Structure 1
Amino acid sequence: MESDKQDGTELKNASQALAKRIGRCQLCKDVLPLGPRPVVQFSASSRLLIIGQAPGLKVHNSGIPWNDPSGVRLREWMNLEPERFYDPSRVAIMPMGFCYPGRGRSGDNPPDPRCAPQWHQQIQALMPRIRLTILVGQYAQRHYLQGFDSLTESVRRWRTHLEHGIIALPHPSPRNNLWLRRNPWFEAELIAPLQQSVAAALKGN
């Protein structure tokens, strides 16, 4: 029992130290139009891990992950109130790029490819209690799913992924409204299992 407590304290301290190092990161400053401002949330006791794309401009300005219309829709899909969503003791948020990448011709630029290899494994090593990982959008799915061919097929194979503690979702951005209209099976088939899986992951101590 004493050993478990000591291990928990060590993980907590290591998580806090890593968060400070991430906050000082300058890895991608050469391509960030507004400079580095990493937006990430995690702790040693997190149970649910959300891996998305990269912060948008509103999130960059606020420093709060998913603090935009996409985040509102994501929380609705997951049936999570903001108070629980923003509780790092339960929910970790780790995008593929921690900083706002700027605007491109058809939306935000892709996350910088240097970020995830630098930080993801270090963060995950300090979160041994993760029960469910949610991959939001094609960049996270391309990185983490073997045999990725398309976002639609990754989402459609949710039953297979769920066996491994993973759920793939389309990005909840309003820009994806057309995809949602073309794929009505998503909300009809997946939202209920998603909410049940999220509730199960966050249940208990």
Structure 2
Amino acid sequence: MVTIGMNTGHSFTDGLVLDELAAGIRQCRLCSPYLPLEPRPVLQVGATARILVASQAPGRKAHASGRPFTDASGERLRAWLGMPRDVFYDRSQVAIVPMAFCYPGTGRAGDLPPRPECAAAWRARLLQYLPHLQLTLVIGQYAMAYHLPHAGKTVTDIVGNWRQYWPDTVPLPHPSPRNNLWLQRNPWFEAELIPQLQQRVGAILQQG
């Protein structure tokens, strides 16, 4: 498991470094030859964030808006969290760091996987400047492979064992409408995990 969010005595200066790093990411063109559209890295970070959304890659709508989760997946994710839209997009409280920052294109079964070059170049460097994280939401198989590499073979197995990582890390299936069938087949997810998750998120946000 990748250790993130540890309080390592980071200073205000480190917040400035984080902003500079995020600005550098937004200028990144590393994967340009492999992308269907002009690169437009999408992320949200703030040095005081206490919740991390470790997601997959922006969809086409997020690419168009330049803002993560501006689609049906975002609506469902915010409902799962019990989190208002304005709080979700408050970078002082919530960081949104996908495995790849650019829209990867669409294949036969939905969006293509995140480009691997992105995480290799940026992810560890970025996460070290988020020292106040109390909760990491690990969304989808590619984020799970990075943050929970020894957790299990399938998303269902990993999410089913969510109590093993509680309360600092919560694995979640992707909130895409394409996963409606998964939700129907796994009613325990919304009956058991989601109420606990909403309580946990609420407790963190109430801290100030």
TM-score bracket for this pair, using the shorter chain length: over 0.9
Aligned to 1:55: 58
Aligned to 1:160: 164
Aligned to 1:70: 73
Gaps of 5+ in 2: 1-8
Percent of residue pairs identical: 49
2 CA distance for matches of 1:44 and 1:156?
31
* Structure 2 counterpart SS, 1:127: coil
1 CA distance for matches of 2:202 and 2:115?
32
- How is 1:136-175 mapped onto 2 (pairs within 5 angstroms)? 136-147=139-150, 148-163=152-167, 165-175=168-178
Consecutive aligned runs of 4 or more in structure 1 exceeding 6 Å deviation: none
Cα displacement (A) at 1:123 = 1.3
2:55–2:97 Cα contact (<8 Å) kept? yes
2 CA distance for matches of 1:142 and 1:121?
14
1 CA distance for matches of 2:159 and 2:132?
24
1:60–1:99 Cα contact (<8 Å) kept? yes
TM-score (norm 2): 0.92
1:8–1:44 Cα contact (<8 Å) kept? no
- How is 1:165-204 mapped onto 2 (pairs within 5 angstroms)? 165-204=168-207
Gaps of 5+ in 1: 1-5
2 CA distance for matches of 1:17 and 1:53?
23
How many residues are matched?
A: 199
1:96–1:139 Cα contact (<8 Å) kept? yes
Aligned alpha-carbon RMSD (Å): 1.3
Aligned to 1:3: none
Residues 158 and 65 (structure 1 numbering): CA distance in 2 closer, same or farther, change over 3 Å?
Answer: same
Alignment counterpart, residue 91 of structure 2, candidates 88, 109, 116: 88
TM-score (norm 1): 0.94
Render the CA deviation track for 1:174-201: whole Å, top value 9, x for unaligned: 0000000000111011001111111223
Cα displacement (A) at 1:7 = 5.2
